[in-house]
Structure 1
Amino acid sequence: MSPLTKIAFAAVLAALAGGASAADLGKSLEVLGSVGPRGAGNEAAAAAWQEVARSDAAELPMLLAALDRANPLAANWIRTAIDAICERTLREGRSLPQTSLEQFVLETAHAPKGRRLAYEWLLQVDARAEERIVPQFLHDPSLELRRDAVARLVAQAESAGGPKETIELLKTALDAARDRDQVDTIAKSLKKRAIQVDLVRHDGFVVDWWVIGPFDNTGGKGFRAEYAPEKGFDPQAEHPGKHGPVRWRRFSSDSPEGQVDLNKALAEEMEQEKEREIVGYAAAEFHSAEPLAVQIRTASVNALKIWLNGELVDEHEVYHGGSVFDQYKAAAILQPGRNVILVKACQNAQSQDWAEVLSFQLRVCDEIGTAVHSQQKPGG
């Protein structure tokens, strides 16, 4: 056998043993990434999956990175291929590329699902990885990884040497917590220790408003009607309401949950207490130092419309269907300087006691729920 033949033969054996080349692997990943609903692309994906699953563990960073742009269906194919590679590698008595996996876990630019998968496999081969890595997740953009770090701090607080250390650990955990169950649990622990917790500020609820109403929602017509407040916010303006002229007035909610109670805010203008078939508006000025992508998150048992600077960003014509924290999420862009958030809340004709509520919560935050606060106080 000539030297060139030996080299070619060795290359073939290496390819068979180690899986596809980087170029071929990239093509197979493209096939997996093209799967769609109703089985679209599944036949080609099944063949590509076999190629990917035969890859060497050294290719794991490339496969994990493919999860960054994968749709949910494609992610399932890629994730199971990664699992197959890791399981085979460990079954054969070899180790996974620990350094590469750890680097991937800590690269926050990657998608959370890929980082989490890398972390879970790293734990299989590095018993000390959790102790070393989890503290670095405390301010991570991945909610799932951040949750681990918050839970670790809470556990440390429970076993701390003294009350002062416990409180400091709980405060740090609360500042970092974004999942509602963790926030509520930590706040409860702090309150038990006589520590005041301002969840309105932690969550970024807007509680200082201008309000006006009531307007007419007889037969539900008010949700689609364009009443005067929707045409521009002028706090000095007077508009025709359901029962006569109405004017804007200031209202600040003192609810610890950030609830804005329009029954309370508009009580003087209502013909009867907790009137039905009405529309109420609330407007808030929100100042930003720069253009900023945010989410406007709301919750209400009433039908809602939300505008930012005159642009409709969210609407839900649902009455008394239940309400949960961060029920609705809408992407929006704050402009530099003054912004105006306008809320339209509609009450229907239901007469039951439980249907008397006319209120909402609204907060401004980033994509993982970190509060974004106005850079200027109301009236400032």
Structure 2
Amino acid sequence: MTATATRVLVLNSGSSSVKYQLLDMRDGARLAVGLVERIGEGSSRLAHTPLATGGEQRETEGAMADHEAALKAVAAELAADGLGLDSPELAAIGHRVVHGGLKFTEPTVIDDAVLAEIERLVPLAPLHNPANITGIRTARALRPDLPQVAVFDTAFHTTMPEYAARYALDVETADRHRIRRYGFHGTSHAYVSRTTAALLGKDPSEVNVIVLHLGNGASASAVAGGRCVDTSMGLTPLEGLVMGTRSGDIDPAVTFHLKRVAGMSEDEVDELLNKQSGLVGLCGDNDMREIRRRIDAGGEDGARARLAFDIYIHRLKKYLGAYSAVLGRVDAVAFTAGVGENAAPVREAAIAGLEEMGMAVDADLNARRSGEPRLISPEYARVAVAVVPTDEELEIAQQTYALVSA
């Protein structure tokens, strides 16, 4: 890597999409951001914004048969702004990979052996790892000489002690089928816990934080001195908090009951729990803004939305209490992601009544909107309550650059 190579391209490849950001690691500035969607469909769409030149978003539509065509289109857009993939200033490409199992506990330079291991983990993340692999293969073909780094969603959670990571299943069966708690959203939990410590003017090793990543997918983590000691998602992203379309924690016997009594197949139960449950199953909406609007409107429809909201908050409180017990001492609670960063009523309701645990929210601070990390707790509160905008792309870029520049 040359001394002038300070840029990292971050790729997040989905089954029919690619999100990307190009960052300059001298200051973390974003040079370009974009999204390709509907890959492999009749009409694909690429939205590209050249932030380095202050240009406006450009959109192009047309058939992109596969990820190779999509990434070639991305490369062309970057080249048009003088930011092409052939630039000597590009140090590496960082790839988001959802599942790293137990083998990948840190960012890893991708070679054929690493790629083969990521493929071996596909049964643990059948919806995500195949798309991640496709993006990696395509990027390697475009720039075979450039370091490609995998940053794993599960890596941050591999520090959990065995008693937190294991389920109470027969050990031989669990080990044979790799059944344990892996956790997800790890790059977000890592970034937010570290940023929360900085907000308090402390080193991460000095701070115990409960991170609430609340988006359409939602997860909680207990972070002690910079290390994850427990997290709400498990073998899959289904476990834990109530989410937009996922049920979160549920009696596992419900699945047997649905198969016996309702005659549902495994695929139908999977569809129900992952895509037709959570907030959308409870009230028909997974947009917290719309749920709050319906509550304010009142009536029978508002009552249904209120029940969904109350169930959502109840689960949050249970995890706040549980992780307070796990940590023993809580220095901060950090809200992040789409709902956590923007829904003041969720933050207020989740903390309400927890004063005896040292947690409180200042109504005025909570109501203010900002894109910066900030405290929303009153000065007297023993536990700091923070809103910390997550930045998974920056976290991936930082981890990638630190590895290739070491």
Q: Rg: which structure is higher?
A: 1
| TM-score (ref. length: structure 1) | 0.25
TM-score normalized with structure 2 length: 0.24
Which protein, 1 or 2, shows the higher relative CO under an 8 Å CA cutoff with sep ≥ 6? Answer: 2
